[in-house]
Chain A
């Protein structure tokens, strides 16, 4: 039984510095953030504020220059590449702005991709992927290739791929950024349902106040720091 007061994501004193020649760019500065299990957190801020960088750190796609990142009590900032890859496969579902489906695979095979890293049999993989596609309402489009799907449908496949391994946390980087209003609303409703009905912890980067309104909490980032309240 999960405890909804339990801190799932604990980012503490994190700096992320990029070097461009001799110049140092401080994308994140002494950042602290805690996210409780079962939260649907919207991460907002202007371009270049460090939202995606923070998401990458939480998702184990990048490592902080200093500070700590712990997910479910497990420090991930010190893991090596191989350990981090295995950790991502077990704990993280990623939803991208541009869907990032593999064009050479149909919807079913795209959703099965993360399952290739598990010990499931081919039949089990097929069944799991079918179930995930059913959750996102695309059960009948499993043989369609990305080029045969609308943007909204592709993003649904992307979400199915993200949830098929039943990850600890779902990280969405502007999931409605490339969609029209109607499709965007459908995707947000789907994410909301996953959060409410299945208790998925979701962190969503967005520029869109309409999207952040669906979240249970919104935090604002500016110049690599979290703001105490919504900026004017």
Chain B
């Protein structure tokens, strides 16, 4: 610690240069944090997926419907614990740009299948008692300023309502929170029985099934058993784990992880050059001073340590400030992005990776200048200055 003052004084030698270098490192880590949060939002579903859960959809495409009658047959397959249906409703609230996920579901089946949907018991009860009741995620409620008791009109281009009006009307009876960090709170769930009775077409059909199995070890075998059950039928199925389903969904955007990695690699390579150049210049400028330090008894290793410490301080200041700023900004933006990027948050593992990157950046940017400082010959260093 007693050398900290010396390290800090050296960094203050060219304040503007040091500040700009720290700033560029800060921007890189801010980007690192932000992209990490975006990646988390896009692939988070994969992480949050439960190995005990399967998705069963039409073999051709998820937009092809399956018969509701499959539910009992799936439920009878050994190893299947519960089954619940889903439909993509595509509800529009007032304006087509007000997009969010809306699904007719079986309330009991949904809440049983997804314990991460955290709903107070009284609201669950109200949902079971209210045929037009809807349970809405906290993110969506915050977005539109809704509250319990509000009546929400939705129009679906896929599912026109029978009767005089094509507008579906729901009453908000519950607001759910995410039981796990990063879980989606932008969903709008309402009762399948109300939906099926009121829809003009497709009665008795559903979009896909969520299936809970008794053990992740049996998931693959049960998937095969379900698909075999409906082989050669008019509506063959494709069953896969929830993680694989989420992965497939995300990959429609491309390989997000690879894209993020490529951007970050380019950014950090540039930052490495910037920080490395700063350190190299700093060492070149004070060849004489390093020679003096050695002359008065600083060992080669100590000089190496001092230069490396300067590099680490630059990386750490920029990195910590950048990650802290990313943390603050991600938290600030998360509510407004909740419906587009549910699960937009900076996961702890990204912060740990950031800390690791700080160490790597400090080391790699500083090692060559530090080695050249270490190898300086005293007489030569002093002669150069004279």
Contacts and interface: CB of A to CB of B under 8 A. Distances in A.
Interface of A: 52-53, 56, 59, 61-62, 81-82, 85-86, 88-90, 92, 94, 96-98, 100, 102-105, 109, 113-114, 116-117, 122, 161
B385 A109 contact: no
B165 to A, nearest CB: 78
Contacts of A117: 296-298
Contact of B296 (A52, A53, A114): A114
Contacts of B148: none
Given A81-B300, A116-B3, A102 B292 contact: yes
Interface in B298-340: 298-302
Contacts of B13: 103-104
Identify which of B9, B292, B295, B296 gathers the most chain A CB atoms within 10 Å of its CB: B296
A86 B297 CA distance: 6
Contacts of A85: 294, 297-300, 302
15 contacts: A52-B379, A56-B378, A85-B299, A85-B300, A89-B297, A89-B298, A94-B296, A96-B292, A100-B292, A102-B9, A102-B289, A102-B292, A103-B13, A104-B10, A105-B9
Interface of B: 2-3, 5-6, 9-10, 12-13, 288-289, 292-302, 378-379, 382, 385-386
Contacts of A100: 288-289, 292, 382, 385
Q: Is the interface of B mostly helix, strand, loop or mixed?
A: helix
Top 8 closest pairs, chain A to chain B, by CB = A89-B297, A85-B299, A104-B9, A88-B297, A100-B292, A61-B378, A114-B296, A104-B13
A94 B10 CA distance: 22
Contact of B385 (A53, A94, A98): A98
A94 B295 contact: yes
A109 B5 contact: yes
Q: Is the interface of A mostly helix, strand, loop or mixed?
A: helix
Contacts of A89: 296-298
B285 to A, nearest CB: 11
A61 B379 CA distance: 7
A175 to B, nearest CB: 13
A25 B11 CA distance: 40
Contacts of A94: 295-296
A103 B385 CA distance: 14
Contacts of B299: 81-82, 85-86
Given A100-B385, A105-B6, A105-B9, A61 B292 contact: no
Contacts of A52: 379
Nearest to B291: A100
Given A82-B300, A98-B385, A113 B9 contact: no
